[in-house]
């Protein structure tokens, strides 16, 4: 059975999966945990478009039905309200494991639940992968590098994480999830992939999730001052969601376990980001300084050499080109001049 699946994956990896739908190759059966969330719902769109059958498993902590509602009625789409902390039995070929709150405001809301989701939730999905011989992809995070002492961050860097800080439920949770993933790979022969995702933005982000891009965009649209935490000189690298989804699909389809940094190396201070938002939305937008949060990483920028070389992937959408696409979606959702959830 295991051999059979490996062979099946090889056929798909060789590009045979790209045959036109008319030729009636049956698509893959794929679970996307967290598929009603921001990144997950965009991934689901691409998988459905490719001809796969997709099961979304989501407890709707931060996800919304509106993000996937346009697939209701499609026999290749299924939505299950389920918490990954509980076991589940499914028969699938691939598992994209995204379930986990991603914004600091959300993951700090109930830190113990965040740890359970990362540890027990990931364990359950790996147990499922082992039982059915599915390939498993973990969406880890640049946060595994903590407040990095190496810049830019390379996958071989082990990170600088505070194990007892307010962000640790997420950072250490994801680090443990990576460990579990590698141990199921080495110990049980599960085919695994690990992506370390850097800050990503785009349509369908929660409007009030407290992340910097969603905050600035919503504030500028509402004519409120943009809240810059600390001195605004800390940096982040912002990736548009379609680039991320492409990276995840290439990683899942490819031969390499990783971990791979998946992010846009364009690095911005928060003050520079505020300027880009200003230019895109409102030249008169004001900024307001607020105290910074605890353990805030000072800088972050991916080294994506490995993904370029081994996955043939690199981001295509710059911040200045991606931001307006998100602004359109936010404007519609905030001012309600059109149906929610569209992008």
Question: Which residue numbers are catalytic?
Answer: 170
Name the one residue in this structure whose structure tokens are 């080109």.
321
Number of neighbours of residue 308 by Cβ within 10 angstroms:
12
Least distance to ligand NAD, CB of residue 213, Å: 9
Burial class (CB in 10 A: 0-12, 13-18, 19+), 214: buried
Contact between 111 and ligand UDP per CB under 6 A: no
Stretch touching ligand NAD by CB under 6 A, among 5-13, 82-90, 149-157, 301-309: 82-90
**Residue 32 or 48: which CB sits closer to ligand UDP?**
32
Contact between 199 and ligand UDP per CB under 6 A: yes
Spell out, one character per residue from 105 to 144, where the chain touches ligand NAD: x when CB under 6 A holds, - when not. ------------x---x-----------------x-x---
- In the chain, the largest separation of any two C-alpha atoms, in whole Å, equals 62
Contact between 294 and ligand UDP per CB under 6 A: no
**Residue 48 or 192: which CB sits closer to ligand UDP?**
192
Number of neighbours of residue 245 by Cβ within 10 angstroms:
22
Q: Which does 222 bind (CB under 5 to 8 A by kind): ligand NAD, ligand UDP, none?
A: none
Q: Which does 247 bind (CB under 5 to 8 A by kind): ligand UDP, ligand NAD, none?
A: none
CB within 8 Å of 16: residues ≥ 6 apart: 25
118 to each of 4, 114, 228, 293, how far by Cα in Å? 30, 6, 29, 23
Contact between 307 and ligand NAD per CB under 6 A: no
Number of neighbours of residue 15 by Cβ within 10 angstroms:
9
Q: Which does 296 bind (CB under 5 to 8 A by kind): ligand UDP, ligand NAD, none?
A: ligand UDP
Contact between 63 and ligand NAD per CB under 6 A: yes
HEC readout, 146-200: ECCCCCCECCCCCCECCCCCCCHHHHHHHHHHHHHHHHHHHHHCCCEEEEEECCE
Rg over CA atoms, the chain: 20
**Member of 122, 200, 242, 261 binding ligand NAD (CB under 6 A):** 200
Stretch touching ligand NAD by CB under 6 A, among 69-77, 78-86, 160-168, 288-296: 78-86
198 close to 262: Cβ distance less than 8 angstroms: yes
**Residue 17 or 257: which CB sits closer to ligand NAD?**
257
Nearest CA to 20 out of 53, 52, 51 is that of 51
Least distance to ligand UDP, CB of residue 242, Å: 19
Tokens standing for residue 63: 């996800």
Residues β-bridged to residue 193: 137
Contact between 89 and ligand UDP per CB under 6 A: yes
Stretch touching ligand UDP by CB under 6 A, among 15-23, 40-48, 53-61, 229-237: 229-237
Contact between 59 and ligand NAD per CB under 6 A: yes
Q: Which positions lie near ligand NAD, rule CB under 6 A?
A: 33-34, 36-40, 58-63, 83-85, 98-102, 117, 121, 139, 141, 197, 199-200
């Amino acid at each position: 059975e295991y051999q059979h699946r490996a062979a099946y994956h090889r056929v798909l990896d060789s590009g045979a999966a790209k045959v036109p739908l008319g030729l009636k190759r049956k698509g893959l059966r794929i679970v996307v945990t967290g598929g009603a969330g921001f990144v997950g719902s965009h991934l689901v769109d691409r998988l459905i478009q490719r001809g796969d059958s997709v099961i979304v498993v989501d407890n709707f902590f931060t996800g919304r039905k509106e993000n996937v509602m346009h697939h209701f009625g499609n026999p290749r789409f299924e939505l299950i309200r389920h918490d990954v902390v509980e076991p589940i039995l499914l028969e699938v070929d691939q598992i994209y494991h995204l379930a986990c709150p991603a914004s600091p405001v959300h993951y700090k809301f109930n830190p113990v639940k965040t740890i359970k989701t990362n540890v027990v939730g990931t364990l359950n999905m790996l147990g499922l992968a082992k039982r059915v011989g599915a390939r498993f992809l973990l969406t880890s995070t640049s946060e595994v590098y903590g407040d990095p002492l190496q810049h830019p961050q390379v996958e071989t860097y082990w990170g600088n994480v505070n194990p007892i800080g307010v962000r640790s439920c997420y950072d250490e949770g994801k680090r443990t999830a990576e460990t579990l993933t590698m141990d199921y790979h080495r110990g049980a022969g599960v085919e695994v992939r690990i992506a370390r995702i850097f800050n990503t933005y785009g349509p369908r982000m929660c409007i009030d999730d407290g992340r910097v891009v969603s905050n600035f965009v919503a504030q500028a649209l509402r004519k409120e001052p943009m809240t810059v935490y600390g001195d605004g000189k800390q940096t982040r690298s912002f990736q548009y969601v379609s680039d991320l989804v492409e990276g995840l699909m290439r990683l899942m389809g490819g031969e390499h376990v990783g971990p791979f940094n998946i992010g846009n190396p364009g690095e911005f201070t928060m003050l520079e980001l505020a300027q880009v938002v200003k230019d895109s939305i409102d030249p008169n937008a004001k900024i307001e300084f607020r105290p910074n949060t605890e353990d805030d990483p000072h800088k972050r920028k991916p080294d994506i050499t490995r993904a370029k070389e081994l996955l043939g992937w690199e981001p295509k959408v710059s911040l200045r080109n991606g931001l307006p696409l998100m602004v359109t979606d936010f404007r519609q959702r905030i001012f309600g001049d059109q149906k929610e959830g569209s992008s």
